[in-house]
Amino acid sequence: SSADGVVSLPLEGFYLPSKCWDGDEDWYIEDNLDGQPLEPEGWMYATDFPTKYGPNKTWNSLVRRRKW
């Protein structure tokens, strides 16, 4: 999704800035959020889509996402 979590962005929708660019590595899940380690599967949690995400799931975590 977009950085604010509002717009869904499928992998096929990402384009390299130029035909000179080449993706030569596999994608990986980021394992930290602002220096804080995430759980092994890389999930970040929030109470709603436009709110700030955090590394810990709480009782009121209603949405989650991961960054590749």
Q: Which contacts qualify for 53-59: CB closer than 8 Å, 24 or more apart?
A: 53/5
Q: Give tens-digit pLDDT for 1-57.
A: 676 777 777 777 777 778 788 766 777 888 888 888 998 889 999 999 888 899 999
DSSP code for 13: G
pTM, two decimal places: 0.60
- Report the pLDDT value the prediction gives residue 48, as an integer from 0 to 100: 92
Token pair for residue 48? Answer: 């709603």
- Give me the residues paired with residue 44 across strands: 65
